[in-house]
């Protein structure tokens, strides 16, 4: 028998059954953004493409300095609505794309996109740029590249009172599956090469 300091007696709890590790989405790997950032770094290091994540423009309003060596942002606002997540150059062509994930296994909700992003994609296409979205079904760990022209069609269908999502079957039909690897993790340039060049 053991006692705590002060004389209180220690009583062991009933032993809990051993729980086996179950992989979940949260511990299954990196997020889509982390995977794409690692992929883009690989492309830059190997001279394949120059693609970067766009910084979100923020206006800092109030900063506190609790220590001389540290600053804490207390208030900030987005300067303007951001456009898409990534842009750059591949084989002399401008590339612009958005990356989104969903937990759904049957469809991709269009509410994940914003009007200003759709507007931006229209402009990129009108000027001859390569524009697409990379969609991840996180529960299935499946990634697809969908050309922006198809996304715009589904967006217009929604605006006309139709479906508020793109079915997985439609993504499989109009999109392009991207197999996951190690280096690079999401080799979307291989798909870009086969579709646009």
Q: How many residues does the chain have?
A: 197
**Number of structural domains, the chain?**
1
Work out whether the CA dihedral 29, 33, 34, 35 comes out positive or negative: positive
Q: Specify if 64 maps to a domain.
A: no
3-state helix, strand, coil in the chain (%, to 5): 30, 35, 35
Query: In this structure, how many other beta carbons lie within 10 angstroms of the beta carbon of residue 171?
Result: 22
Residue 186 tokens read as: 């999401």
Q: Specify if 20 maps to a domain.
A: no
| 73 neighbors 60 (Cβ within 8 angstroms) | yes
Q: Tell whether residue 22 is among the known ligand binding residues.
A: no
Q: Tell whether residue 83 is among the known ligand binding residues.
A: yes
CATH number of the domain that residue 162 is part of = 3.40.1350.10
The neighbouring-strand residues paired with 51 are: 88
**pTM (whole model) above 0.85:** no
* Separation CA 136–CA 141 (nearest Å): 7
For 125, the domain range is 29-55+81-196
Angle at 51 between CA 50 and CA 56, to 5 degrees: 140
Q: Specify if 163 maps to a domain.
A: yes
Query: In this structure, how many other beta carbons lie within 10 angstroms of the beta carbon of residue 95?
Result: 22
Q: Tell whether residue 141 is among the known ligand binding residues.
A: no
Q: Specify if 93 maps to a domain.
A: yes
Residue-level pLDDT, tens digit, the chain, 197 residues: 455 555 666 565 554 444 433 333 333 445 899 999 999 999 999 999 999 998 766 677 778 887 777 888 777 766 656 689 999 999 999 999 999 999 999 999 999 999 999 999 999 999 999 999 999 999 999 999 999 999 999 999 999 999 999 999 999 999 999 999 988 999 999 999 999 99
Q: Tell whether residue 167 is among the known ligand binding residues.
A: no
- Return the DSSP state at 3: B
């Amino acid at each position: 028998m053991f006692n705590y300091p002060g004389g209180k007696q220690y009583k062991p709890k009933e032993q809990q059954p051993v729980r086996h590790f179950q992989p979940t989405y949260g511990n299954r790997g990196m997020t889509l953004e982390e995977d794409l950032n690692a992929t883009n770094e690989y492309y830059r290091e190997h001279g394949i493409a120059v693609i970067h994540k766009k910084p979100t423009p923020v206006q800092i309003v109030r900063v506190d300095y609790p220590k001389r060596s540290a600053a804490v942002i207390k208030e900030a606002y987005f300067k303007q609505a951001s456009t898409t997540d990534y842009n750059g150059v591949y084989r002399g062509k401008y590339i612009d794309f958005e990356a989104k994930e969903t937990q759904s296994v049957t469809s991709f909700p269009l509410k994940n996109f914003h009007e200003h992003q759709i507007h931006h994609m229209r402009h990129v296409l009108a000027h001859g740029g390569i524009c697409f979205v990379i969609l991840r079904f996180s529960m299935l760990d499946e990634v697809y590249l969908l050309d922006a022209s198809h996304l715009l069609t589904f967006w217009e269908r929604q605006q006309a009172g139709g479906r508020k999502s793109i079915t997985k079957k439609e993504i499989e039909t109009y999109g392009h599956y991207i197999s996951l690897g190690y280096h690079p993790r999401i080799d979307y340039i291989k798909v870009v090469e086969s579709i646009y060049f």
